[in-house]
Amino acid sequence: MEKTFTFDSDLTVNRLGYGTMQLTGDGVWGPVADPDNAVKVIETAIDHGVNFIDTADAYGPFYANLYLRDALKNRPDNHVMVATKVGNTRQGPDVWTPVGVPAYLRQQVEMNLFTLGLDHIDLLQLHRVDPNIPLADQIGVLKDMQDEGKIKHIGLSQVSVDQLKEATAIAPIVSVQNMYNLSNRQDEDVLDYADAHHIAFIPWFPLATGELIKDATLTNIAQKYNASPAQIALAWLLKRSDVILPIPGTKSSDHELQNIQAQDIDLSQADFDALKALAK
């Protein structure tokens, strides 16, 4: 199992990353209850080898970016690849509305640069495809900003193989971020396409927010490895494909350390296959 993934000659990251979405209020809306702790959790991740962090302008909105900016300032000697997203607007807790108007996407890229304190974005992902705007226009403005040096790489989120192919005809696509976990693998075809083309597959909802923990097979296998069910679920993702970059999120430094330890678990093929059977 490869523990790293290479995006280009300058960007090779440890495959187990961190996602900032939980560093917000209820419904991914507003600030987190303890901002200092939010920064500390990110610092803990960085201090223990996490160098791929996923965020989005829609998380808060922007609060997660601000916590990440502070953590990056506090760790200036650690190179961290930051991935962020644009294209989802927020009207309140748990409300997400895709908007792919090119002028809006350009604005949000600039806002991400400002709130993250960066001069360029390593990986800018289209958070959702707006069905009311041609995909060529949405990817086109990101390609323009890539040519301007503000974006290094472009990715997509929650797309089909056909959409991925269509976008690739407009600009190089280096990542796709779709829902994927032990119990929900409806986008297996997207993962297979990503695997075949060395495209990073970033599974969101990698632990199904605790739902997986209730599964007896997972619990029994976890006991064999003296690990938690969450650690086994992450270890399974890492073994499933070398292009998978899990980004589990948490508000707890202790939990973050447990997640990081999952990369050291080497599942047997028999246990991997037993867990594979859990899919819906």
What are the residue numbers of the active site?
59
Cα 220 to Cα 9, 206, 214, 224, 275, distances in angstroms: 41, 19, 11, 7, 11
Closest by alpha carbon to 195, among 232, 151, 164? 164
Q: Tokens 């056909």 belong to which residue?
A: 162
SS3 251: coil
Cα angle 100, 106, 108; round to 5: 85
Cα 189 to Cα 58, 134, 165, 202, 274, distances in angstroms: 27, 23, 13, 14, 20
CA atoms of 230 and 174, how far apart (whole Å)? 27
Give the DSSP H/E element, type plus range, for residue 163: helix 161-168
Count of positions (residues) in the chain? 280
- Report which DSSP code applies to 132: T
CA atoms of 59 and 190, how far apart (whole Å)? 25
